[in-house]
């Protein structure tokens, strides 16, 4: 059984999520809120005890989920929108910094930059705190497939699709996170995802580097998000929905494990 097939959602959840993405009145929120909090909650469970203690004592953070959406809250005021993605030239299979992020102002290079800042002894306390909060968010963004989408269509924002006769765009559907969990159940949901991560998965995931994460997202974008049938018809199929939800849960799980590993290596 492959990794994505181990990660399933109920049909009820998926239809609620698509309703949310299309603006239908349901409880829930977008990738920028619930999914980022889930990544933080997953990472909490994989932190070393001494690192968890240091984060609490030095930064007054009891859960990474509590700061998971800070970067979204400041991005407009600080003009940091491009930091959250790294669109790639259409037709290219992998991320290349010189071509796709020459100025360093994209999510791949920002994860690298803030990882270094977090562990530098010369960084001020405020710089380390902000580096930590950026990392919690950007590691999540880096695992969203269409944050490594095509530059030409702005990561799917220009691609119109329909669900049950309603119009939206491809990026909005994937950026919604395919998550619709009541706040009271968020921790339970994250724990369910964590239980599905096998020891072999964990070992494999933490052996990768930041560019690997980007290229995984790029691969999922090209294979799963930019589905040829969907691109030609603009109509979502059940098979597409099933594949999308499996990919998103896999990416949430990988993001949580890798975020914790990054912090363990930088703060231990």
CA–CA distance, 228 with 232 (Å, rounded to integer): 6
**Which tokens hold the place of 207?**
């052996």
- Over the stretch 186-213, which tens digit does the pLDDT of each residue have? 888 899 999 999 999 999 999 999 999 9
Higher pLDDT, 45 or 21: 45
Domain count, the chain: 1
For position 17, which CATH number holds?
A: 1.10.575.10
Asked if residues 140 and 256 have their Cβ atoms less than 8 Å apart, the reply is no
Asked if residues 131 and 61 have their Cβ atoms less than 8 Å apart, the reply is no
Nearest by Cα to 97 from 248, 236, 215: 215
Place of tokens 């949580």: 256
Residues in Cβ contact with 57 at an 8 Å cutoff, skipping those fewer than 6 apart: none
- Give me the pLDDT at residue 5, please: 44
How much is the pTM? Answer: 0.87
CA–CA distance, 109 with 166 (Å, rounded to integer): 36
Domain boundaries, position 201: 4-267
Asked if residues 76 and 217 have their Cβ atoms less than 8 Å apart, the reply is no
Helix (H, G, I), strand (E, B) or coil at 258: helix
- Over the stretch 79-129, which tens digit does the pLDDT of each residue have? 999 999 999 999 999 999 999 999 999 999 999 999 999 999 899 999 999
- Over the stretch 116-162, which tens digit does the pLDDT of each residue have? 999 998 999 999 999 999 999 999 999 999 999 999 999 999 999 88
């Amino acid at each position: 059984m492959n990794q994505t097939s181990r990660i399933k959602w109920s049909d009820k959840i998926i239809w609620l999520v698509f309703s949310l993405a299309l603006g239908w009145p349901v409880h829930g929120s977008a990738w920028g809120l619930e999914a980022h909090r889930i990544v933080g909650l997953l990472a909490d469970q994989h932190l070393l005890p001494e690192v968890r203690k240091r984060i609490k004592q030095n930064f007054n953070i009891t859960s990474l989920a509590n700061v998971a959406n800070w970067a979204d809250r400041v991005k407009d005021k600080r003009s940091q929108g491009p930091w959250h993605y790294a669109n790639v030239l259409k037709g290219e299979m992998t991320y290349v910094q010189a071509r796709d992020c020459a100025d360093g102002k994209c999510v791949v290079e920002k994860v690298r930059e803030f990882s270094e800042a977090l562990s530098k002894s010369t960084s001020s306390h405020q710089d380390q705190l902000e580096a930590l909060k950026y990392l919690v968010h950007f590691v999540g963004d880096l695992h969203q497939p269409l944050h490594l989408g095509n530059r030409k269509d702005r990561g799917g924002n220009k691609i119109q699709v329909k669900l049950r006769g309603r119009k939206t765009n491809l990026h909005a559907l994937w950026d919604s996170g395919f998550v619709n969990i009541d706040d009271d159940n968020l921790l339970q949901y994250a724990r369910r995802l964590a239980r599905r991560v096998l020891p072999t998965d964990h070992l494999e995931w933490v052996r990768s580097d930041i560019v690997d994460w980007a290229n995984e997202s790029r691969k999922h974008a090209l294979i799963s998000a930019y589905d040829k049938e969907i691109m030609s018809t603009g109509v979502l199929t059940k098979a597409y929905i099933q594949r999308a939800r499996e990919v998103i849960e896999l990416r949430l799980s990988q993001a949580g494990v890798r975020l914790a590993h990054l912090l363990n290596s930088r703060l231990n």
